[in-house]
């Protein structure tokens, strides 16, 4: 008996996974620096004894959409948006070095600089701690200047420089914590040409309209698989009818 | 697994709902003296690994990429945007505004300290300078009943001419407070902020020193809420809410088709 329904089942599972991916992209439509995921389906041939008779579908999240989100001015001194494909270097919760486009920097009570989701921001010399300061400013190349408490506003002092990287030829992929890492292992070197814009923040790159179109597409794919299942059901029924002995 | 999309979209609705509350609170406080607007910060939730990259797909092959499904979004924190509000002249001698960083320190009824940028002070029955809620300024300043022409200098020195005396008398000095991380202060009702582990310890001193702002007499600092910005944020929130509810509807329709046709 033909295993049509199993192929359909795999396709439906895939469609639901894709729907979950779209839902996650849309849920993060306002998350600063978020990179949407691209769902991808590929056929997986099941090797029969004689011929490749059946393909099923293996659904996977192929990777993140790395296009840019829109940056908006915020006026907050510690907000940075990254130009080009530059990324900020952060220390993930597991201690490894990871990369992010999220630039809403915060200070802890000890002055340690973190991103809005609590990852420690790395400078050229490791984690950055800002001393008590009257003003903080970040220049285009990521250098952080402060005017220390009671200091001369005309003579800002350099504290550290954000470690800015560009993936360049390296492949980076999003981990389970939403941060990017070098898939080949190891860390990326800092890029002296990377630039940031301070007092502005990049939004999510999820396009609500194209995600909605993808969603319609997914639900139609789901519907056609249901159609396949009902057709299989009818075929099954008619063959069972044929087999029935006349009364 | 089957209804993961529904739950993910629900986290989106929750987060947008919370953001709307932040915007509503900003707009509600558009005329509150010394109010600082809050911004909601979103964070994506952890990913769920369905297939690890490099896991075997068959005896000979490995998956080149993994299947990681995101589980949604949450509001991680709100940050108070500490930009200066505009100064509005009131010509009342006890209306004070801070230009630059810093807060006035007041004592709550339970004896603990609280901090505020709302400088609409008055005197109570015994001449103590208090906030509009009656909380005394710390250090306390007494203004005698026979004082006229109370002047407050930019460094906080309070002086007045006392009736029957030809010279002006110094009555005390208003000190201001700053914090390492002022956005870590916890907001309370009555325009008060209180110290937290995140804000660091209060650094008390004279206005205009060590990065503390200067005091302007006869002015109040307006709220820094920008109505246009809030309305744009509100539309953005509404649209995001709408797309998340569309996902719920879409997923529900998929499940409905399956239930009805199979």
- Residue to mutate among A14, A19, A21, A23, with most B CBs inside 10 A, is A23
Residue keyed to tokens 């329709």: B253
So what's the ipTM on this one? 0.70
| CA closest to B235 among chain A residues | A30
The verdict on a CB contact (< 8 Å) between A116 and B257 is no
d(CA A136, CA A117) in angstroms, rounded, equals 20
Tell me, what's the pLDDT at B1? 44
Distance between first and last Cα of chain B: 19
- Residue to mutate among A9, A13, A22, A24, with most B CBs inside 10 A, is A24
Whether chain A has a CB inside 8 Å of the CB on B154: the answer is no
**Nearest CA to CA, how far is B68 from chain A (Å)?**
6
Which of B83, B181, B253 comes nearest A108 by C-beta?
Answer: B181
Whether chain A has a CB inside 8 Å of the CB on B1: the answer is yes
Whether chain A has a CB inside 8 Å of the CB on B256: the answer is no
- Report angle CA B38, B44, B48 to the nearest 5 degrees: 160
- Residue to mutate among A4, A5, A26, A27, with most B CBs inside 10 A, is A27
Which residues in chain A are contacts of B101 at CB distance < 8 A? 134
Helix axes B4-28, B227-261, angle to 10 degrees: 160
Whether chain B has a CB inside 8 Å of the CB on A70: the answer is no
Mapping DSSP onto H, E and C, the string for A76-89 reads CCCEEEECCCCEEE
d(CA A84, CA B13) in angstroms, rounded, equals 31
DSSP per-residue string spanning A215-233: HHHHHHHHHHHHHHHHHHH
d(CA B23, CA B45) in angstroms, rounded, equals 22
pLDDT tens, residue by residue, A189-246: 999 999 999 999 999 999 888 899 989 999 999 999 999 999 988 988 888 888 887 7
d(CA A133, CA A13) in angstroms, rounded, equals 54
Q: How many CA atoms lie within 13 A of B113 on its CB side?
A: 16
d(CA A16, CA A57) in angstroms, rounded, equals 12
- What average pLDDT is seen over chain A? 86
Q: What is the CA radius of gyration of chain B?
A: 27
Could you tell me which residues are beta bridge partners of residue B142? B128
pLDDT of chain B along its 262 residues, tens only?
457 889 999 999 999 999 999 999 999 999 999 999 999 989 988 888 777 766 676 666 666 566 778 889 999 888 888 889 999 999 899 999 999 889 999 999 999 999 999 999 999 998 999 999 999 998 899 999 888 889 999 999 999 988 888 888 899 999 999 888 888 889 888 889 999 888 888 989 999 888 788 999 999 999 999 999 999 999 999 999 999 999 999 999 998 988 888 7
Tell me, what's the pLDDT at B59? 67
| CA closest to B47 among chain A residues | A176
Which residues in chain B are contacts of A173 at CB distance < 8 A? 53, 65
Instruction: Indicate yes or no: pTM above 0.90.
Output: no
pLDDT band at A80 (very low <50, low <70, confident <90, very high): very high
More confident residue, B51 or A79: A79
Q: How many CA atoms lie within 13 A of A237 on its CB side?
A: 6
Tell me, what's the pLDDT at B197? 85
Which of A20, A44, A63 comes nearest B69 by C-beta?
Answer: A20
- Give yes or no for a cis peptide into B62 (omega within 30° of 0): no
Which residues in chain A are contacts of B257 at CB distance < 8 A? 222-223, 226
d(CA B43, CA A178) in angstroms, rounded, equals 9
pLDDT tens, residue by residue, A12-51: 888 888 898 899 999 999 899 999 988 766 665 555 555 5
| CA closest to A183 among chain B residues | B53
Tell me, what's the pLDDT at A42? 60
Between the alpha carbon of residue A216 and those of residues A63, A211, B241, the distances in Å are: 21, 9, 18
Would you mind telling me the total number of residues written for chain B in this entry? 262
Q: Are A67 and A47 a contacting pair, CB within 8 Å?
A: no
Residues 166-205 of A with CB under 8 A from B: 173-178, 183
Q: What is the mean pLDDT of residues A159-180?
A: 89
d(CA A40, CA A32) in angstroms, rounded, equals 24
Q: What is the CA radius of gyration of chain A?
A: 26
Dihedral angle over CA of A71, A76, A78, A79, nearest 10: -10
Tell me, what's the pLDDT at A54? 58
**Can you list the positions of beta strands (E) in B84-131?**
87-89, 96-99, 103-107, 113-116, 122-123, 129-130
């Amino acid at each position: 008996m033909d295993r049509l329904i199993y192929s359909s089942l795999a396709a439906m599972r895939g469609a639901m996974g894709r729907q979950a991916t779209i839902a996650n992209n849309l849920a993060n439509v306002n998350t600063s620096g978020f990179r949407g995921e691209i769902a991808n389906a590929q056929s997986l041939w099941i090797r029969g004894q004689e011929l490749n008779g059946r393909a099923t579908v293996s659904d996977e999240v192929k990777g993140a959409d790395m296009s840019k989100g829109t940056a908006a001015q915020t006026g907050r001194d510690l907000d940075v948006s990254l130009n080009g494909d530059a990324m900020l270097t952060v220390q993930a919760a597991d201690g490894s070095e990871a990369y992010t486009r999220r630039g809403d920097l915060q200070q802890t009570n000890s002055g340690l600089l973190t991103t809005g989701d609590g990852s420690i921001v790395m400078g050229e010399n490791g984690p950055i701690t800002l001393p008590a300061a009257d003003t903080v400013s970040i220049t285009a190349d990521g250098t952080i200047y402060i005017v220390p408490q009671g200091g001369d506003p005309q003579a800002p002092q350099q504290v550290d420089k954000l470690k800015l990287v560009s993936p360049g030829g390296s492949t980076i992929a999003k981990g389970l914590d939403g941060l990017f890492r070098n898939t080949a292992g190891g860390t990326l070197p800092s890029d002296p040409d990377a630039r940031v814009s301070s007092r502005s923040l990049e939004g999510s790159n999820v396009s609500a309209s194209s995600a909605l179109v993808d969603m319609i597409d997914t639900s139609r794919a789901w519907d056609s698989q249901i159609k396949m299942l009902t057709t299989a059901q009818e075929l099954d029924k008619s063959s069972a009818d044929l087999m029935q002995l006349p009364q | 697994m089957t209804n993961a999309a529904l739950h993910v979209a629900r986290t989106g609705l929750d987060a947008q709902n919370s953001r709307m509350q932040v915007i509503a609170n900003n707009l509600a406080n558009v005329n509150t003296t010394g109010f600082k607007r809050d911004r909601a910060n979103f964070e994506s939730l952890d990913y769920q690994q369905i297939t690890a990259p490099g896991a075997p797909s068959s005896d000979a092959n490995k998956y080149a990429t993994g299947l990681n499904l995101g589980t949604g979004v949450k509001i991680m924190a709100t940050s108070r945007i500490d930009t200066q509000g505009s100064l509005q002249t009131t010509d009342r001698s006890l209306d004070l505004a801070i230009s630059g960083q810093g807060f006035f320190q007041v004592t709550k009824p339970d004896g603990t300290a609280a901090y505020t940028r709302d400088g609409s002070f008055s005197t109570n029955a015994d001449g103590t300078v208090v906030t509009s809620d009656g909380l005394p300024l710390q250090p306390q300043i007494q203004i005698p009943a026979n004082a006229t022409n109370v002047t407050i200098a930019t460094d906080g020195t309070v002086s007045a001419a006392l009736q029957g005396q030809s010279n002006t008398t110094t009555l005390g000095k208003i000190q201001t407070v700053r914090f390492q991380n002022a956005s870590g202060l916890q907001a309370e009702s009555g325009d008060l902020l209180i110290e937290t582990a995140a804000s660091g310890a209060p650094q008390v001193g004279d206005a205009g020193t060590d990065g503390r702002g200067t005091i302007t007499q006869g002015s109040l600092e307006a709220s820094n809420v920008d109505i246009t910005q809030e309305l744009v944020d509100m539309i953005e929130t509404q649209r995001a809410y709408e797309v998340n509810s569309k996902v719920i509807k879409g997923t529900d329709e998929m499940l409905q088709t399956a239930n009805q046709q199979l």
